[in-house]
Amino acid sequence: MIIFESIIDGIRDIKDHFGRTLLQLVGIILGAGSIVATFSLSVAGKAASMEYYRVSGGIQKIWIGDKPTGKVTLSAKALASKGLVYRDVVALRNAKNIDLVSPVSQDEMTIRYRSIEKPRGVMGVLPAYSPMSDFHAGTGRFITDNDVSSAARVVVLGSERATEFFGSDDPIGKTLTMNGTGYQVVGVMEEKYFSFDKKHNAMRWMNRNIYIPLTTLVTRKGQSLEQGKISFMNARMRDIKKDGEAVDEIKAILQREHGVADFEVFSRVANLRRNEQQNKMYDMLFMVCGIISLIVGGIVVMNIQLASFNERVREVGTRKAVGASPAQIFFQFLAESILVSLFGGLLGLIAGKGFTTGIGMLLRTPPVITFMTCVYALVFAAGTGLLFGMYPAIRASRLNAIEALRTE
């Protein structure tokens, strides 16, 4: 009952001295707005990264590529290593922490259809490429196991490549000449799209790819399948919680096969963790700025509350003389500072929305304001009012009624 009455008295005093209240609000609004902007941009960045990973195969992907050793003295086995080859793919399929391996061998060929002739990159792949990249045929089909085993002369086009060579015609079943050899078009991939800024397609490179069976590419370059050169490969871990074990197992297998660490392994899970660690530093920096603004606002609230107390000494004395307890006086002043801070926090949510929209337009990142972001901002704002309203409230509650009534 005392707290409820104190809240009513606090609201009444805020209405009676609204100009003074506006001065108290400025710092609280800016502080709460800064916190909203900090959390919103951080959440937006994480959400965008997770969505990019999702549309490109998920965070369980591990990238494996060649790397110069930089060593002068190597063993005979290490000297014989030619980097990643198809034999490594076979070895990695037996890894207990890996459930899918997708190698890619790249080459450049002269592509011709009727009067159109252009040099374009070609990727030799296995059927595993489609589920690994979450990239599927829009029309026709993708590379099959039968295509791989027979080294078939078939080709699957990215959507942009299909338009480039065939225009509006249906390319399925037509023959595309690649380095003088005819390949039958058996599929066109779906259009892949993802944008961080809603303007540029970060997945456009996938729409420009041309795919043929890996065995076809390797054998037509005069290489045996086992020693066929692999440009890079992706592996998919079974359990993202065992990310470190999966990476270590891949490194151990490749080290055994090559005799030297002429490869590099990057895990999306580990990369996500590194980015989160880096982002925490920036989050803390902006959070500190927001808290400093709240502290400044809290100091303003405390000073104005003290000024209000000095103006209302006789009022406080009169209330005490007619029976108001120290607790009632204490909660009246404290409720006033908390209410002002909460009101400032609510206005800070609006200001924070404006901050995030403006910054989002500059960074071309759509802001994401979550329910918890709003809760954090209001809790910090109310906490500021509670912390800095304590001293004026304690002074008012301890005031001697007789001395207060003597005050001019």
Q: Where are the domains of the chain?
A: 2-53+274-406, 68-261
Instruction: Give average pLDDT by consecutive 10-residue segment, the chain, 408 residues.
Output: 54 61 74 79 76 88 85 58 88 94 95 94 96 95 96 96 94 95 96 83 93 94 85 94 93 90 90 77 73 78 76 72 76 79 84 78 70 81 83 79 60
HSE-CB for 369 with a 13 A CA cutoff: 20
Is residue 314 within 8 A of residue 404, CB to CB? The reply is yes
Q: What is the pTM of this model?
A: 0.72
- The token duo for 244 is 């470190």
Read off the amino acid at residue 312. Answer: R
- CA dist 130 and 169 (Å) reads 24
The two counts, helices (H) then strands (E), for the chain are: 15, 10
β-pairing verdict for 154-157 and 181-189: parallel
pLDDT tens sequence across 121-138: 999 999 999 999 999 999
Query: What are phi and psi for residue 148, nearest 5 degrees?
Result: -70, -45
CA distances, 165 to each of 116, 154, 277 (Å): 7, 16, 45
The pLDDT of residue 126: 97
The pLDDT of residue 80: 60
- CA dist 315 and 261 (Å) reads 81
β-pairing verdict for 98-113 and 232-237: antiparallel
Classify residue 191 by its DSSP letter: P
Question: Would you give the end-to-end CA distance of the chain in angstroms?
Answer: 32
Question: Cβ–Cβ contacts within 10 Å for residue 137, how many?
Answer: 18
- CA dist 40 and 75 (Å) reads 54
To the nearest 10 degrees (0 to 180), the angle between helices 268-311 and 313-321 is 80
pLDDT tens sequence across 237-292: 999 989 999 999 999 999 998 888 889 999 998 888 887 777 777 777 777 777 77
Q: Which of 266, 305, 297 is nearest to 394 (CA)?
A: 305
The pLDDT of residue 1: 42
Q: Which of 210, 208, 144 is nearest to 177 (CA)?
A: 210
Query: What are phi and psi for residue 154, nearest 5 degrees?
Result: -125, 155
- Which stretches of 56-172 are DSSP H helices? 76-80, 86-92, 129-133, 145-149, 159-166
Is residue 37 within 8 A of residue 352, CB to CB? The reply is yes
- The token duo for 135 is 């990239």
